[in-house]
């Protein structure tokens, strides 16, 4: 998430009421999670295990719960609760604004786009030309939809990320201030759910087609010309490269990469990153021919046991 204008380190510290370490005029351009941070961004870290990763990331401001040595050219914001203060910044720069009507006055809808009855379109949504949005679709604030996109009934774009911190009193939600971006000629089936990024974008690439009842988690990036079949669940922060096929009821771990032109057979659990241009099957995931051989060998075990017993 980029701020509307450049803020100083001191200004940010005043918003969240924290101490800072660095030049008071140090420029701050935005805020992001660790996997998408850029120069000028704030990243938060609240566990010593991840200090080095945050300090050595592309982020130039680290919201942290302890004074530590930090690389040249960076600055610190010292907080007793970085998770809370990251939420404070999200609320400050991307507050929830209630809608007063089914289609917001701030929405921009392109030429020849058809919006069927009972569609909700939130604030600052952009929809391109020649799209078809079927009845009872909900498109939350700030979503960006390209040209030639079809979205079937019951789909929801832009719901919050499933991201919580376990506290003694219950689960504390990390607020979502990101977007959903659909590129040109994307098709979404009925009852698809695409969560927005925490601070960045959840993106579905040009020409990709999703079947009914597909879920895409926060900050996931899906490439061009992918096919994703029904009841597939894609976790947050996944990278799916171009021309990947995911068959029905595939599930993925978060933070993995599926390589270009990979084929994931039905009911596979993608527990790790996999290379492109290969077919995979099973849980844990393996190359499909190898997995099918293993299953064939398992079927032979009763016969082997009988032969041993008859000796």
H-type alpha helices, the chain:
9-16, 51-55, 82-93, 288-309
H or E element that contains 62: strand 61-64
Q: Are 31 and 86 in contact (CB under 8 A)?
A: yes
- CATH class of domain segment(s) 2-93: alpha beta
Q: How far apart are the C-alpha atoms of 153 and 36, rounded to whole Å?
A: 32
For residue 283, give both structure tokens. Answer: 């849980």
Q: How far apart are the C-alpha atoms of 157 and 176, rounded to whole Å?
A: 13
Question: What is the tally of helices (H) and strands (E) in the chain?
Answer: 4, 34
Is 3.40.605.10 the CATH number for 108-289?
no
What residues are annotated to the active site?
218
Q: How far apart are the C-alpha atoms of 249 and 270, rounded to whole Å?
A: 11
CA nearest 209: which of 235, 183, 234? 183
Which sign, positive or negative, has the C-alpha torsion 88, 92, 93, 98?
A: positive
Q: Tens of pLDDT along the chain (311 residues)? A: 999 999 999 999 999 999 999 999 999 999 999 989 999 999 999 999 999 999 999 999 999 999 999 999 999 999 999 999 999 999 999 999 999 999 999 999 999 999 999 999 999 999 999 999 999 999 999 999 999 999 999 999 999 999 999 999 999 999 999 999 999 999 999 999 999 999 999 999 999 999 999 999 999 999 999 999 999 999 999 999 999 999 999 999 999 999 999 999 999 999 999 999 999 999 989 999 898 888 888 888 888 888 888 87
CA nearest 181: which of 229, 222, 227? 222
Q: Do domains 2-93 and 108-289 have the same CATH topology?
A: no
For residue 173, give both structure tokens. Answer: 């939600």
H or E element that contains 201: strand 201-204
Q: What integer pLDDT is reported at residue 300 of this predicted model?
A: 87
Give residue limits of the domains in the chain. 2-93, 108-289
Q: Which residues are registered as beta bridge partners of 94?
A: none
| CA distances from residue 216 to 68, 145, 155, 191, 300 in whole angstroms, order as listed | 37, 16, 12, 12, 39
Q: What integer pLDDT is reported at residue 191 of this predicted model?
A: 98
Beta strands 156-159 and 138-139, pairing class:
parallel
Q: What integer pLDDT is reported at residue 146 of this predicted model?
A: 98
Q: How far apart are the C-alpha atoms of 295 and 132, rounded to whole Å?
A: 45
CA nearest 70: which of 21, 117, 111? 21
């Amino acid at each position: 998430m980029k701020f509307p204008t450049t803020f100083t380190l001191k200004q940010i510290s005043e918003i969240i009421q924290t101490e800072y370490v660095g030049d008071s005029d140090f420029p701050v351009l935005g805020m992001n999670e660790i996997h998408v941070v850029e120069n000028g961004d704030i990243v938060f870290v609240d566990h010593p295990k991840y200090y080095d990763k945050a300090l050595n990331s592309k982020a130039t401001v680290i919201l942290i719960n302890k004074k530590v040595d930090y690389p040249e050219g960076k600055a610190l914001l010292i907080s007793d609760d970085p998770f809370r203060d990251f939420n404070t910044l999200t609320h400050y720069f991307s507050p929830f604004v209630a809608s007063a009507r089914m289609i917001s006055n701030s929405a921009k809808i392109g030429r020849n786009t058809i919006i069927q009855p009972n569609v909700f379109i939130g604030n600052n949504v952009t929809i391109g030309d020649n799209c078809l949005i079927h009845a009872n679709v909900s498109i939350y604030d700030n979503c960006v939809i390209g040209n030639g996109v079809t979205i079937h009934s019951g789909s929801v774009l832009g719901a919050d990320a499933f991201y919580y911190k376990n506290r003694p009193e219950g689960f504390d939600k990390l607020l979502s201030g990101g977007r959903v971006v659909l590129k040109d000629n994307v098709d979404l089936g009925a009852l698809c759910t695409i969560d927005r990024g925490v601070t960045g974008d959840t993106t579905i690439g040009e020409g990709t087609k999703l079947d009914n009842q597909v879920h895409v988690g926060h900050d996931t990036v899906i490439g061009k010309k992918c096919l994703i079949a029904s009841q597939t669940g894609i976790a947050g922060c996944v990278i799916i490269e171009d021309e990947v096929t995911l068959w029905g009821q595939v599930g993925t771990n978060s933070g993995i990469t599926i390589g270009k032109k990979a084929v994931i057979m039905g009911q596979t659990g993608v527990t790790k990153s996999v290379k492109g241009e290969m077919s995979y099957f099973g849980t844990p995931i393996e190359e499909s021919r190898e997995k099918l051989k293993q299953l064939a060998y398992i079927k032979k075990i009763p016969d082997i046991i009988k032969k041993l017993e008859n000796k």
